[in-house]
Amino acid sequence: MRPSAGSQAARCGRVDPDSAGRRTRATVNSPIFACMSRIVTTCRRRPVYGHPDRRASSRRSGGAATAHRFEESRVARVDCDVLIMGNGIAGNLAAAWFTRHMPALRVDVVGPAARTLPIVGESLVEFSTQLLQEVGLGRHLVEKQLPKYGLTFYYKLDPSIPADPRYVVDAVPTNPPLPSFLVNRFTLDDALRQLNHDNGVEHVDGKVVRVELGSGAQHGVVVRRSNGTVRTHTARWVIDATGRRRLLARQLHLGDTATYQRSSFWFRLADFDASILDRIDAVTSDTRRPDAYYAAHHFFGRGNWLWLLPVRAEQSRRMMSVGLTCRPDLFPVAVRSIPEFLVRMTREHPILGDLVRSGIVVDTNLYRNYMYRARQRYSSQGWFLIGDAADTVDPLYSTGLALVTMAIQQVGAIVHRDLDGSSTARYVSTLDRAYAGFLGLGEGQVARLYDVMQAGYQCRLRMHLHVVGFFHMALPLLLNGYHADAVGAAMMARLGRPAHGLGRQLTDFEPLIARAAARQPSRSVRDGVRVQSALALNHSWFEHRRDDEIPRSLFRMFRHLVALRLALMWMAGVRSWLDPVQLRGLLRSFLWGLAVGALGRRSLKRSRLTRWLFTSGHGDAPPPFASRDPTRAERTR
């Protein structure tokens, strides 16, 4: 825990007026002392907490606890309250969130002004779109970016003939329930930096050399500025958003390896012939869906998939982000240039070769074996890792900025509790485990999906389960702030466990899906379940998006899992009815459905049953890394 304001004042030599003698009080109250204090206050740099034009509002809304932290920060003489290392989209989005929700805090961003890392076209999801709208970029998204009408998936009709030009196309049947966008990262980053500048966020043009973590209310960040000078900036909270540089993770030895590696090659394509996409030989089509062009397009192959993301460019140029992501153990051929991309991809998707040849390649980028993990992301000592500074993700479901959004809101909740004195190491650990569970659940399912990407029937069924879990459980919990609530975070951490949570149920489906596909040789991929049906997208919950309707959403999810498992067991034959794994999964889904159905219209966060299930016993046990304090180890070194 951080030292109190009284202990800080004692170490700094300040006098407690309640215990001082008559002579001290007379000196303090003298006109000469008052005049000198006024001169010092006038000459002092701007206040630590907030800017001059926001001080009045912060005094009215801060409260006694916040004022207590104001005094502690003033005594500690820190340069800023929140120092964010990294001038990319994660760091600037965090700065925008703090200035929007905690305007009394002074926020500084440290990082080079020039772009130094590759930027990929971005497909937003509903959760990250909501955060951008909250911080004040809603109009920018509508006026400067393209709308995104869901995801469109292209599966080979005959997996045994890769050159077959026919596809089964799966797209959203209607407009998505919540808006999302296809964004040009260059224009979005510029708009975000301009927003922070207008809100008073100070940008330090330089590179962080090292971080000197403190045990109390002050951390030091050594920065080498662009002019060559070196200066130590002090702050109460430090957020590492340095991306793949992973400054704090390397310094504190928090890095960990991922189970499966991924490699990506991508480029921006301009002035291409968009009518080529209309010539795709789609076996299935849905005329009710919106414009097919404005979507995130995904083409699946053996151990790899490709994305096509239309983006808005300057001077009304037609532009698209095109990329390949693969699992190197299943796709061993390296793709490092446009000629290699065309040679390799035209074997499976000839029409994409025609699309690339019709346009102009603007730039190319390559990441090889880029997956990694962090053993810890948040600390009660006041340092945090967000975005690629902690973990990398697979871009299949466009969850990169969604996870950044989740981390920013969790860090904000920790800082808010730290301000009013209610933050504990247990609470910080619970939020860290919730993030790790959510990340592990999604990434584990995506990593194993590469095994069957060339098999359209199995791939569609697995992706259908992913979509059901996201729209029935993950997105409702995130939109209602469960990831930042003590009980909600404990529930998300438990559900994300590989051995007991939803991930275990989805994993148990995989051999059942394989057996069902093997016993249906005449069944075409076109006869599989729709990935994005109205049931899978959970349209009924998104009409109101209320917290007390989440139990019904979960009940519908578990009911669907029971029905789907029974149907697959019937298709797979007698062996599946005798499989203890499938019987156990069937019973688990049935019991979970009964449990959440019994809650009716009650909030899971406030339910006594939920508190008993997810915050007792091992539910609140600290993670394995909690026994080692990396901050203390770093100070020892």
The count of C-alpha atoms lying within 13 angstroms of the C-alpha of 18, restricted to the half-sphere facing its C-beta, is 1
Confidence label for 635 from pLDDT (cuts 50, 70 and 90): very low
Within 368-509, strands assigned E span: 372-374, 383-385
Residue 627 has pLDDT above 50, yes or no: no
- DSSP for 416-429, please give it: HHHHHT---HHHHH
217 falls in which pLDDT band (50, 70, 90)? low
pLDDT digits (tens, 9 = 90+) for 412-467: 999 999 999 888 999 999 999 999 999 999 999 999 999 999 988 899 999 999 99
CA-to-CA dists, residue 252 to 137, 210, 249, 478, 622, angstroms: 35, 11, 5, 29, 19
* pLDDT band of 95, cuts 50, 70, 90: very high
Using alpha carbons, list the distances in angstroms from residue 359 to 280, 348, 362.
18, 20, 9
pLDDT at 631: 45
Q: How confident is the model at residue 21 (pLDDT cuts 50, 70, 90)?
A: very low
Share of the chain above pLDDT 70, in %: 80
Q: What is the pLDDT of residue 20?
A: 38
What CA–CA distance (Å, rounded) separates 300 from 476? Answer: 28
* Token duo for residue 304: 């790899």
d(CA 475, CA 406): 11
3-state secondary structure of 385: strand
Q: Is the dihedral of CA 307, 312, 315, 316 positive or negative?
A: positive
- Over residues 442-457, the pLDDT tens digits come to 999 999 999 999 988 8
Q: Which helix (H) or strand (E) holds 311?
A: strand 304-312
Residue 171: its pLDDT value, please?
87
Which of 144-158, 287-301, 420-434, 610-624 comes out lowest in average pLDDT? 610-624
DSSP string, 30-97: SHHHHHHHHHHHHHSPSPSSS-GGGHHHHHHHHHHHHHHHHHHHHHHT-SEEEEEE--SHHHHHHHHH
Is residue 532 within 8 A of residue 150, CB to CB? The reply is: yes
Average pLDDT, the chain: 82
The confidence score (pLDDT) of residue 401 equals 93
Determine the number of helices (DSSP H) and then strands (DSSP E) in the chain. 24, 20
**CATH architecture of the domain with range 47-133+184-257+377-420:** 3-Layer(bba) Sandwich (3.50)
pLDDT at 469 over 50: yes
Q: Output the CA torsion sign for 511, 516, 522, 525.
A: negative
**Domain residue ranges of the chain, discontinuous segments joined by +:** 1-44, 47-133+184-257+377-420, 146-182+259-367, 424-636
Query: For residue 309, which amino acid is it?
Result: L
Q: Among 101-115, 152-166, 278-292, 584-598, which stretch is predicted with the lowest mean pLDDT?
A: 278-292
Q: How many CB atoms lie within 10 A of CB 339?
A: 9
Q: Which residue has the higher pLDDT, 382 or 216?
A: 382
- Residues contacting residue 321 through CB under 8 Å, at least 6 positions apart: 120, 121, 266, 267, 268, 269, 307, 308, 309, 311
Please tell me the least confidently modeled range out of 151-155, 479-483, 600-604, 624-628. 624-628
150 has pLDDT over 70: yes
Going by pLDDT thresholds of 50, 70 and 90, the confidence category of residue 374 is very high
Residue 353 has pLDDT above 80, yes or no: yes
If you search the block for the tokens 């008993």, which residue do you land on? 612
Least confident among 211-225, 353-367, 433-447, 602-616: 602-616
Quickly state the pLDDT bin for 10 (edges 50, 70, 90): very low
Contact 369, 328 (CB under 8 A): yes
Query: pLDDT value at position 286?
Result: 55
Give the least confident one: 33-42, 73-82, 459-468, 543-552.
33-42
Closest CA to 348 of 391, 293, 303: 303
pLDDT at 593 over 80: yes
Token pair belonging to 220: 């030091």
Q: Evaluate if residue 50 carries a pLDDT over 50.
A: no
What does the alpha-carbon distance between residue 365 and residue 344 come to, in Å, rounded to a whole number?
Answer: 17
Residue 121, amino acid: G
pLDDT grade for 387, boundaries at 50, 70 and 90 = very high
CB 512 within 8 A of CB 569: yes
Spatial separation of the C-alpha atoms in residues 356 and 458, rounded to whole Å: 29
Q: How far apart are the first and last CA of the chain?
A: 21
pLDDT confidence of residue 26: 39
pLDDT at 621 over 50: no
Q: Is the pLDDT of residue 612 over 90?
A: no
> Is 47-133+184-257+377-420's fold the same as 146-182+259-367's?
no
Q: Is the dihedral of CA 131, 132, 133, 134 positive or negative?
A: positive
Least confident of 79-83, 456-460, 603-607: 603-607
Other Cβ atoms closer than 10 A to 104: 23
What CATH number belongs to 146-182+259-367? Answer: 3.30.9.100
